[in-house]
Structure 1
Amino acid sequence: MRRAQLRILLSAALAAIGALLLSSCGTTTTTASRRLPAYEAPMAKSDFQTVRTTAYTHTEADHVQYSNRNALGGRLRAATAGLRRAAYAARALPADSDSASDYRRASLSGASLDSYLTPQKKKVTRWVRTKRGRKKVTTTVLVRPTIGSAAADWSRWPAGTTFRLLSTGQIYKVDDYGWALSGRNTIDLYMGSRGDMNTWGVRSEPIQILRWGAPEASLQVLQGRQGYKHIRRMVLQLEGQHATAAALE
C-alpha cells in the first residue's frame, strides 16, 4: 500500500513540475492568442531621429526565461556614461525606400562609430594609506565606453544598428527584440537594474545613428523563428510586405 501511495504522490509531483515548466516557458498556444501591438508606419531613415524610448531589464517577468541573454545569444549589457556630444547636421533619407543602400548611405555620413569609442582621459580620485595617515591621490586613466544593449523592431533598426543618445552621450547597439516592439517606432534600452529602468520610464529621445545594421543579416536570423507573430511581422516588413505586416494581429 505504501509503495502505491508513493507512486501516486510521485506522479502528481512530476505532473505539477511539468505544468510549471510549460507555463514558465510560454507555449505556442499562449503567444498565438496574444494580439500584436497596433502597427505604426516606419519612420524616415536618417542620421538623426527623435524616437520614443522605453527601458527594460532581464529580471522582468517576460524576460526571466531568457536570463541576461539577447536575441543573438550574447549577453545584455548596460551602457556606461557617454564621453562626447553630437556635432554634425542631420540628412534625411526617403521613408518609402526599402533598399539596403539607404542604410549604407546613412552609415557613411558624419562621424564614425570608432571616433566615439576612443578611450578618453578621466581623472580618478582615491584615498591611500601613508605613514602619516590617509592621503587623497588623483590619477588619470583611459576609459572606453561600454555599448549598451537595445531592443527594437529589426525591420526599422536592423540588428547591429548602433546609435547614441544625444541627451546622455551613451551608445547602444540593437541586439534584441520584443513582442511590444514589433511594428512600432520604439526602442527599448537595457538597464542593469529595475531602479534604473523605472527612472528612465518613457522618453522621446533624439538619437544619432552611428552605424546601421544589415537588413539582410537580420532577415536571415529571423526567418527560422516565424512561429511567433511578432517575428513574423518583422520578417514581412523586411521582405517589403508592409500591408500584410500591418494587418497581422
Structure 2
Amino acid sequence: MLFRFFSPALVAMLLASCGNDVAVVSKERAMRGGASTGTTGNHYTARGPYTTAHPSPSVIAAGHQKRKDKHGMPYYSNERVRHVRTTAYTCSESDHLEYGSMNAAGTPLRYSSNVISAAADWSVYPIGTTFRIKGMKPLFVVDDYGSALVGTNTIDIYTPSKSHMRAWGRRNVEISVVRWGSYARSAELLSGRTGHSHCRQMYTSIKRKVNSGQATVMR
C-alpha cells in the first residue's frame, strides 16, 4: 500500500480496474488443483473458484514444535515448506480504495492464471518472495503488505472482487517458497514510511534480522 493520497478522479479510475463480481472462467479453471493436476492421495478444500490441497500431516506436525503467533500458527526461521494461515483481500474494500489496484511497491496488483499478488509482513516474507500453494497452479508473489498482517505469519491473497475474496475466506494451507525476496528492497521502501507504526515495526524487524545475519540465511 502506498502512503499518499490520490485525486478522486484517479481513485475512480484505479477502482474501475479492480473488476466487478463476475466469473473469470478461464482463470478459475486454471487455478483449480486436484485431479486436473494429476495429483493423487490428497484431500482438497474447494470454495468458489479456489481449490487448495490440505497441508501434509508431516508439515502440520513440524509446526507444532514451534513458537506461535497470535493466530496460533507457527513462526518459522528459514524453512521453505510451511503451514500458513491465509486470508484474502480486494482493491474495492473500503480500506484499500485510496490505493486502487496498486500495491505497496507502486506497481499494479497481479491476478492471472500464472501469477497472483499477495500481501504479508515484509520482515517475514520480504518483497519479491515467491511461493506456491499446495493444490494450486499459479505462482504467488509478495508485493504488498497490510497493518493487520504485521507480527504474524499470515499471508493475504489478492483477489479481483469481493465475491472472490469471500470464496477464499480464511484457510490454512501448505506453501513452498520458491525464492526469497529482498530485505534490502523492503527496507528501502519502508524507510520513508516509518511514521506509520506498522511500517516502523516491519522496518525495525528487518534491520534486526540483517544485523544478526539471519537475513543472509534465507536465500
Query: What TM bracket, shorter-length normalisation?
Result: 0.5 to 0.7
Equivalence for 1:64: 97
Q: Distance in 1 between the 2:136 and 2:158 partners?
A: 15
TM-score (norm 1): 0.54
Q: Shift of residue 239 of structure 1? A: 1.5
Task: Give identity over the alignment, percent.
Answer: 42
Equivalence for 2:107: 74
Equivalence for 1:160: 128
Aligned with 1:240: secondary structure? helix
Q: Shift of residue 220 of structure 1? A: 1.2
What is the number of residues matched between the two proteins?
142
Aligned partners of 1:79 and 1:149 also within 8 Å = no
Aligned partners of 1:167 and 1:205 also within 8 Å = no
Stretches of 4+ aligned residues off by more than 4 angstroms: 37-41
CA separation of 1:79 and 1:164: change in aligned 2, threshold 3 A: farther
Q: Distance in 1 between the 2:139 and 2:127 partners?
A: 15
Aligned partners of 2:129 and 2:180 also within 8 Å = yes
Q: 1:78-107 CA distances to partner (integer Å, 9 max, x unpaired)?
A: 242xxxxxxxxxxxxxxxxxxxxxxxxxxx
Residue type of the partner of 2:207?
A: E
Higher relative contact order (CA 8 A, sep 6+): 1
Select which of 220, 224, 236 maps to 2:188.
220
Higher gyration radius (CA):
1
Q: Map 1:35-184 to 2 at 5 A.
A: 42-80=75-113, 145=114, 147-184=115-152
> What stretches of structure 1 of length at least 5 have no aligned partner?
1-20, 25-36, 81-144, 242-249
> What stretches of structure 2 of length at least 5 have no aligned partner?
1-7, 12-68, 210-219
Q: Map 1:202-221 to 2 at 5 A.
A: 202-221=170-189
Residue type of the partner of 1:204?
A: N
Aligned pair 1:198/2:166, yes or no? Answer: yes
TM-score (norm 2): 0.61
